Amino acid sequence: MNAHTPTALRELSYAEAIREAMDLAMAADDRVILMGEDIGVYGGAFQVTGDLVHKYGTDRVMDTPISELGGAGVAVGAALTGLRPIFEFQFSDFAALAMEQIVNQAAKVRYMLGGAVSVPLVMRFPSGSGTGAAAQHSQSLEAWLGHVPGLKVVQPSTPEDVKGMLLAALEDPDPVMIFEHKILYKMKGHVPEGYYTTPIGKAAIRRAGKDVSIVATSIMVHKALAAAEQLAGEGIDAEVIDLRTVRPMDHETVLASVRKTGRLVCVYEGVKTLGVGAEISAMVAESDAFDFLDAPIVRLGGAECPVPYNPELEKAVVPQTPDIVEAVKNVVKGRI
Amino acid sequence: MNAHTPTALRELSYAEAIREAMDLAMAADDRVILMGEDIGVYGGAFQVTGDLVHKYGTDRVMDTPISELGGAGVAVGAALTGLRPIFEFQFSDFAALAMEQIVNQAAKVRYMLGGAVSVPLVMRFPSGSGTGAAAQHSQSLEAWLGHVPGLKVVQPSTPEDVKGMLLAALEDPDPVMIFEHKILYKMKGHVPEGYYTTPIGKAAIRRAGKDVSIVATSIMVHKALAAAEQLAGEGIDAEVIDLRTVRPMDHETVLASVRKTGRLVCVYEGVKTLGVGAEISAMVAESDAFDFLDAPIVRLGGAECPVPYNPELEKAVVPQTPDIVEAVKNVVKGRI
Amino acid sequence: MPDTQLEQNIPYAIRAYSPEQLTDALRKMFLIRKFEEGAEDSYTRGLIHGTMHLSIGQEASAVGSCMSLTDEDKITSTHRGHGHCVAKNADLGKMFAEFFGKETGYCKGRGGSMHIADPAKGNLGANGIVGGGLPIAVGAALSAKRLGTGAVTICFFGDGANNEGAFHESLNIASVWKLPVVFVCENNKYGMSTSTERSTAVRNIADRAVAYSMPGRTVDGNDFSAVTEAVDAAVARARRGEGPSLIENLTYRWRGHSKSDRNRYRTKEEISDWMGRDPIVSMSRLLVDHGILTNDGVAALETEAEQVIKDAIEFAAASPYPKVEEVTRDVYTVQEAAE
Amino acid sequence: MPDTQLEQNIPYAIRAYSPEQLTDALRKMFLIRKFEEGAEDSYTRGLIHGTMHLSIGQEASAVGSCMSLTDEDKITSTHRGHGHCVAKNADLGKMFAEFFGKETGYCKGRGGSMHIADPAKGNLGANGIVGGGLPIAVGAALSAKRLGTGAVTICFFGDGANNEGAFHESLNIASVWKLPVVFVCENNKYGMSTSTERSTAVRNIADRAVAYSMPGRTVDGNDFSAVTEAVDAAVARARRGEGPSLIENLTYRWRGHSKSDRNRYRTKEEISDWMGRDPIVSMSRLLVDHGILTNDGVAALETEAEQVIKDAIEFAAASPYPKVEEVTRDVYTVQEAAE
Ligand SMILES: Cc1ncc(C[n+]2csc(CCOP(=O)(O)OP(=O)(O)O)c2C)c(N)n1
Ligand SMILES: Cc1ncc(C[n+]2csc(CCOP(=O)(O)OP(=O)(O)O)c2C)c(N)n1
Ligand SMILES: [Mg+2]
Ligand SMILES: [Mg+2]
């Protein structure tokens, strides 16, 4: 998962890393509570909360009724009045029911009240395709929330980051939305012991390179790294940047890379049109890095269609490693 | 409103043009019904439906309870089974309550069912700032729906277009989302009599020019035209393109313009980050028109904050004509 | 002996339906059971991916509720929707083909278990969103009323769905507008792992009907005749233009919520207790007791159902997969819009 | 003579509250009335832009409901929230300053009428979204319960809001989790132009309490004592840890829904009929009848209120506007995040 990880280091799955972060936070701070559907004895649809209910009880690991709008709003109200809720949507798709509370309330109330309050709320969104659950259970909706001032929106791609970013989110006085790719839950990687935070708003260079910048999000980081390995074999040295945060976006890390490589490929799973890559591309195209661009900025995003059920079709609607390899080759072809 | 309009032509306000379209459609087709909050005797919060209830009765101009999710879902179900509902959100912000039905149901059901059904649904979203109604009543959320395959999303900027596009939407077998800027409702302009349609998916060149392409949406088209007039006085010949449709976007008209001018400024009211201009910019930056670009692509979008109440602050968070003039000058400055 | 009993002692279903209709009902119940078992088996053998929600144990609710419907009448269904499909006369081959992700499936392999629909038969489809079908059903009822088709819509939903805002808004609108829709809550005691006691602030979900000034009835959802009696009355009421009703069928799902369920929230005793109240066994007994079928006749129906499922699976297995190049087909009705 | 009546014939409010408290209540009712009139006047004179929703006629509901609350207790309010602010001890100058879009306003000119809040006094804020405050109130009650503060939350909402899904989900969750919250529905017969008859499938909104197994009561919302009696009991119940209640205050707004309302949906007779039931007049009579105030004392309160409003408007008018350069301040708590 992380090319630089010595093998002796402790490995956890992404889901375990989230659980460990929640466990640490709950042990340290009584005000931290978990809310969501079937996060108690069931352990969560993706077994992320796991056994926490047995450790902290049903007063702090609260199964909500199937009421996404109400549940989210209760979390907003609780955050406004002294608690530090972590709210789990069972699938990010169901957040469509709660946009009112997330966007009209949580994101805006501090501003609307002239700074009189903060909303220290963390929400978790299991996202993405790959589970065969079809169109209503496979969306990547981070672009919606990334469009909303007042929110912070992150997409950690490794177990280490998801733990650190969840803990950073809990320290943050403002609402932080964590988009977790379902397929990552079982991926293992090095996770430091104990308490640490990973900053929100900072991208990470996962692989340094000089020929082309690949800026990827979430699970696409791993596909981009795989593509970069392949490309290295063909003499193309790709830099892979893990965006990590959609809002506020780390412009400087991306721009520095583009100034160096002169070429940019954005890779994301959300629908291509108006997806996260649109912002990355537009941000670069309006910056001083524009003058360093030697080729059009290429975006690889989700196809312009709902996610289908059939597994071959499902794979076809999101970028895969060969797609990245091919796109990068095309971009690099016309070296100036 | 339209520089080419001979003064003898009939003028209607934008709101009247919408009403005329609905009236024509209802007279011609019994299956067309209107649903929304206070669209009956009240005439709609912005007096768009006006007196239609007196002409067509409460069976076809239906005041819904204040139930946006339910109301939208009823419209989806009705569209699936033989009616042609036009659903009005009282303010586009309240659509946050109905994203589930719009995005998980209306947009996807045809695809999920392998093409077995269509959803001939029209929804109307009064959008934008300028009324002093603050953060929860002033948003421009077209980018959210523009991100969703299965929907068509339009932003007509003139009375003529809104009538023609609403009638085109009613002819369309798929769900069409119409974003109407509240401040446009009272603007007058030429509207042809009788039945006609304005194609969905085609941008319009509102002013031809050779130095820079300004692609604007909705009310920003008028600000861009005002800016272009000013710029003409300073020797800068701007082309102003009215995007009109967010999804499916008319790539060719925009690209042809950029190939000609080599410079692009995108102007839109929605929040800049991940707003419609991000897609316009990214689309150009990945096209062959990239090679024609002589300057970075500039975006003028809404500020990264909720819309404030104070009128001066409110003005400050969306692009104004002087901002466009200044941005264009900067872009044109470095002529190559 | 049935024929010596007073009319009122004869169960409603026996009085209301012909032997052929009742036999067909039991046939459908067997088909559902065998379909679910076949699906489970195919899943275990790796022929189906994704997830699925089995309704074994709930067959009386699905079939009983649809008894008085025609193909003109609509239903909206749920993620646990296979039974509703069969009750509404679905083709089992197309159902399996959909499961197998084939082009011959109901959704051409694009939808999977959670989206099977059959508009021609009035089945507007399962739904992956809990509560998603509720307002859609109300919309279908609005169409029926406005277009004067006389059709009724049955809206199936679970106990878990009754806590969604969509439930409240839908029942309220249906009542205010007096629409021909019957809300059938299949209360199987749990929404995933969460019991109604822990999720629902009312004893019987049908008691919530008061809040919408509509009739509400709670019935034994494993008793085919009881289900039929309650739902038929509500359908008739809707057809007479008197508005919606809320029926609660108390039932139980034998299997876990989905394939990943470890049943931590309920006891083995509870499960086996409910398995002792098998709706197919009681329906079979009902028909035998009233002389409509012999025990051999029942056994023949079961065997026949097994064969239908076997054929359906074969059809599905032999069917072609969709072409990957056609993945964006059917996003829009007129294709170029997808470009 | 009041002092010869039996205890039970003395209205609840007179028994429950001291003369000072009751006088203060009437003072607040006058303040609300004068505030609204002052706001209306300022709007007409072009000093306020945007929209506003006046609660003239509903003063007994706002003040009566909050009688037993302390500053530790919370309220959530609505778009028609000025009365709730005053009832919860807001500073009138800061309210007007907000209206005028000034930096000294409750929201520093960023929020306007629909977002006035006063967290220090327990007012979590008005809300531009109908029903938006409902789950937030439940969240505040959850905090109180978990943190053991003993605080109660009153959630104000309108009859129109009772048809939002948020109503259903919030009352259900509050009941299942037995939270200290009182839902106060201010039923003024209309949600904008739509009457409860045309929007709400139940006679009394409080009857919906049954669906959540909580007490429900409908009271004359223009009768200060009746409001106080019902809400105080619900607050006490919540404080005892016995869970939520639903109270429906029947009242009426004299003015249009907002400034653009042409009153096409109701008759002049209805309006004047309700104006005849002025809650301030009856409250004044109550206090005079029970010897708590003289007529002159009442008049003095009214004059005093006028002066407070005059001063508040002057404060607001003299206050500075926000700096346009600071428009993106307070999007985030730590400023650099806004960059
Ligand atoms: C809006 C929404 N929330 C949550 C889920 C996840 N989910 C799927 S089924 C289910 C339980 C539904 O319970 P119930 O309505 O009782 O139906 P049952 O599964 O018991 O048939 C849940 C929580 C979902 N699909 N949609
Ligand atoms: C979710 C939402 N829908 C619609 C509106 C527009 N709107 C504002 S107030 C109102 C009427 C509310 O009625 P009610 O709850 O009875 O309160 P009242 O105005 O009578 O005090 C409407 C429809 C809104 N602000 N929010
Ligand atoms: Mg259930
Ligand atoms: Mg009202």
Q: What is the DSSP string of D184-201?
A: EEEE-SEETTEEHHHH-S
What is residue C4's predicted lDDT score, i.e. its pLDDT? 52
Q: Is the pLDDT of residue D338 over 60?
A: no
Contact (CB<8Å) B101/C110 = no
**Whether residue B68 lies in the annotated active site:** yes
Each domain of chain B, given as residue ranges in start order, spans 11-192, 204-332
Q: Closest by alpha carbon to D58, among D35, D92, D76, D75?
A: D35
Q: What's the pLDDT band for B9 if we cut at 50, 70, 90?
A: confident
Closest-CA distance, B308 to chain D, in angstroms, reads 5
Residues in chain D closer than 8 A to C199 (CB atoms): 172, 176
Q: Is the pLDDT of residue B2 over 70?
A: no
What is residue C148's predicted lDDT score, i.e. its pLDDT? 98
With a 6 Å cutoff on the Cβ, whether C98 touches ligand 1 is: no
Q: What's the pLDDT band for D51 if we cut at 50, 70, 90?
A: confident
Question: Helix, strand, or coil here: C249?
Answer: strand
Counting as low any pLDDT under 50, the low residues of chain A are: 1-3, 5, 336
The predicted model gives C12-30 an average pLDDT of 98
In the predicted model, what is the mean pLDDT of chain C? 96
Q: List Cα–Cα distances, D88 to A323, C273, D70, D85, D304, in angstroms.
A: 61, 55, 9, 5, 19
Beta pairing class for A11-13 and A188-190? antiparallel
Q: List Cα–Cα distances, C5 to B223, C2, D153, in angstroms.
A: 84, 5, 60
Count of domains for chain C:
1
| B285 interfacial to chain A (CB closer than 8 Å) | yes
pLDDT tens digits for range D281-305: 999 999 999 999 999 999 999 999 9
The predicted model gives B100-108 an average pLDDT of 98
Q: Is the pLDDT of residue B332 over 80?
A: yes
Angle, vertex CA C6, rays to CA C1 and CA C8, nearest 5 = 120
What is residue C9's predicted lDDT score, i.e. its pLDDT? 85
Amino acid at A15: A
- Say what percent of chain C tops pLDDT 70: 96
The structure tokens listed for C107 are 């959704």
DSSP state of C332: S
Closest-CA distance, D203 to chain C, in angstroms, reads 8
What is residue D7's predicted lDDT score, i.e. its pLDDT? 64
Q: Closest by alpha carbon to A313, among C53, C116, C111?
A: C111
pLDDT tens digits for range A184-206: 999 999 999 999 999 999 999 99
Question: Helix, strand, or coil here: D257?
Answer: coil
Sign, Cα dihedral of D323, D324, D327, D333: negative
* Superfamily in which the A11-192 domain is placed by CATH: Thiamin diphosphate (ThDP)-binding fold, Pyr/PP domains (3.40.50.970)
Does C270 fall in a domain? yes
| A256 interfacial to chain D (CB closer than 8 Å) | no
Q: What's the pLDDT band for C2 if we cut at 50, 70, 90?
A: very low
The structure tokens listed for A77 are 């109200």
Lowest-confidence segment of A316-325, B291-300, D25-34, D252-261 by average pLDDT: D252-261
Q: Is the pLDDT of residue D4 over 70?
A: no
Which amino acid residue places its CA nearest to atom 20 of ligand 2? Answer: D191
Q: Closest by alpha carbon to D167, among D78, D252, D81, D231?
A: D78
Distance D37 CA to ligand 4 centre (A): 20
Does D3 fall in a domain? no
| A296 interfacial to chain B (CB closer than 8 Å) | yes
| A58 interfacial to chain D (CB closer than 8 Å) | no
| A18 interfacial to chain B (CB closer than 8 Å) | no
Beta pairing class for B32-36 and D74-76? unpaired
Ligand 1 atom nearest C186 alpha carbon: 21
What residues contact residue D53 under an 8 Å CB cut-off, 6+ apart? D79, D80, D81, D113, D114, D257, D258
What is residue C201's predicted lDDT score, i.e. its pLDDT? 98
- D146, D151, D157, D163 alpha-carbon torsion, rounded to 10°: 30
Q: Answer for the pair A27, A167: CB distance below 8 angstroms, yes or no.
A: no
Nearest CA in chain D to B68: D164
Position of tokens 């005691």? Answer: C189
At the top level of CATH, the class of A204-332 is: alpha beta
- Say what percent of chain B tops pLDDT 90: 96
With a 6 Å cutoff on the Cβ, whether A268 touches ligand 1 is: no
Burial B80-89 (b: 16+ CB within 10 A, else e): bbebbbbbbb
Distance C161 CA to ligand 1 centre (A): 7
What is the 3-class SS of A17-78, one letter each residue? Answer: HHHHHHHHHHHHCCCEEEEECCCCCCCCCCCCCCCHHHHHCCCCEEECCCCHHHHHHHHHHH
Which amino acid residue places its CA nearest to atom 22 of ligand 1? Answer: C192
Burial A13-33 (b: 16+ CB within 10 A, else e): bbbbbbbbbbbbbbeeeebbb
Shared fold status for A11-192 and A204-332: yes
The predicted model gives B200-227 an average pLDDT of 98
Amino acid at B314: E
Sign, Cα dihedral of C112, C113, C118, C119: negative
What is residue C339's predicted lDDT score, i.e. its pLDDT? 45
Angle at which helices D92-99 and D19-44 pack, to 10 degrees?
20
What is residue B82's predicted lDDT score, i.e. its pLDDT? 98
Residues belonging to chain D: 339
Its domain, for residue C294, covers 24-318
Nearest CA in chain A to B297: A286
Ligand 2 atom nearest D159 alpha carbon: 16
Q: Is the ipTM of this complex over 0.90?
A: yes
Q: Is the pLDDT of residue C300 over 60?
A: yes
Question: Which of the ligands is closest to the CA of residue C160?
Answer: 1
Q: List Cα–Cα distances, B212 to B236, B243, B262, C304, in angstroms.
A: 8, 15, 7, 74
CATH code, domain with D309:
3.40.50.970
Q: What's the pLDDT band for D2 if we cut at 50, 70, 90?
A: very low
Closest-CA distance, A119 to chain B, in angstroms, reads 15
Residues belonging to chain C: 339
Angle at which helices C224-239 and C279-289 pack, to 10 degrees?
90
Q: Answer for the pair C209, C246: CB distance below 8 angstroms, yes or no.
A: yes
pLDDT tens digits for range D81-112: 999 999 999 999 999 999 999 999 999 999 99
Does D339 fall in a domain? no
Q: What's the pLDDT band for B8 if we cut at 50, 70, 90?
A: low
Q: Is the pLDDT of residue B6 over 80?
A: no
Does D6 fall in a domain? no
Beta pairing class for B245-247 and B152-154? antiparallel
With a 6 Å cutoff on the Cβ, whether D84 touches ligand 2 is: no
Burial B284-320 (b: 16+ CB within 10 A, else e): bbbbebbebbebbbbbbbbbbbbbbbbbebbebbbbe
DSSP state of C118: B
Nearest CA in chain D to B93: D129
Contact (CB<8Å) D201/C166 = no
Distance D130 CA to ligand 2 centre (A): 5
pLDDT tens digits for range D157-209: 999 999 999 999 999 999 999 999 999 999 999 999 999 999 999 999 999 99
Amino acid at A170: L
Distance B255 CA to ligand 2 centre (A): 44
What is residue B7's predicted lDDT score, i.e. its pLDDT? 53
Q: Find which of B101, B273, B331 to mutate to test the A interface (most A CBs within 10 Å of its CB).
A: B273
Closest-CA distance, A197 to chain C, in angstroms, reads 32
Which amino acid residue places its CA nearest to atom 25 of ligand 1? Answer: C129
Pocket test for ligand 1, best of C192, C266, C274 (most atoms within 8 A of CB): C192
Q: Is the pLDDT of residue B333 over 80?
A: yes
> What is the per-residue DSSP string for A294-313?
-SPPEEEEE-SSPPPSSHHH
Chains linked to D by 3 or more Cβ pairs within 8 Å = A, B, C
Q: Closest by alpha carbon to C283, among C114, C31, C94?
A: C31
With a 6 Å cutoff on the Cβ, whether C257 touches ligand 1 is: yes
> What is the per-residue DSSP string for A175-236?
-EEEEEEGGGTT-EEE--SS-----TT--EEEE--SSEEEEE-TTHHHHHHHHHHHHHHTT-
In the predicted model, what is the mean pLDDT of chain B? 96
Contact (CB<8Å) B111/C105 = no
Q: What's the pLDDT band for B1 if we cut at 50, 70, 90?
A: very low
Does C255 fall in a domain? yes
pLDDT tens digits for range C150-167: 999 999 999 999 999 999
Closest-CA distance, A224 to chain B, in angstroms, reads 19
Pocket test for ligand 2, best of D54, D58, D113, D130 (most atoms within 8 A of CB): D130
Ligand 1 atom nearest A136 alpha carbon: 25
User: CB pairs below 8 Å between C and D: how many?
Assistant: 71
Contact (CB<8Å) C172/D208 = no
With a 6 Å cutoff on the Cβ, whether D196 touches ligand 2 is: no
- Say what percent of chain B tops pLDDT 70: 97
The predicted model gives C135-162 an average pLDDT of 98
pLDDT tens digits for range A99-155: 999 999 999 999 999 999 999 999 999 999 999 999 999 999 999 999 999 999 999
The predicted model gives B276-292 an average pLDDT of 98
Q: Is the pLDDT of residue B21 over 90?
A: yes
The predicted model gives C29-38 an average pLDDT of 98
pLDDT tens digits for range C240-285: 999 999 999 999 999 999 988 999 999 999 999 999 999 999 999 9
Q: Find which of C167, C168, C173, C208 to mutate to test the D interface (most D CBs within 10 Å of its CB).
A: C168
> Using CA atoms, how far apart are residues C139 and B98, in angstroms rounded to an integer?
15
Burial D278-310 (b: 16+ CB within 10 A, else e): bbbebbbebbeebebbeeeebeebbeebbebbe
| B37 interfacial to chain D (CB closer than 8 Å) | yes
User: CB pairs below 8 Å between B and C: how many?
Assistant: 157
| C183 interfacial to chain D (CB closer than 8 Å) | no
Backbone dihedral angles phi then psi of residue C181, each to the nearest 5 degrees: -135, 145
> Using CA atoms, how far apart are residues D102 and B58, in angstroms rounded to an integer?
44
Task: List, by residue number, the catalytic residues of A.
Answer: 68, 137
Q: What's the pLDDT band for B232 if we cut at 50, 70, 90?
A: very high
Sign, Cα dihedral of B169, B170, B171, B176: positive
Q: Is the pLDDT of residue C49 over 90?
A: no
> Using CA atoms, how far apart are residues D22 and C106, in angstroms rounded to an integer?
69
Contact (CB<8Å) C115/A135 = yes
Gyration radius from chain B CA atoms: 20
Residues in chain A closer than 8 A to C197 (CB atoms): none
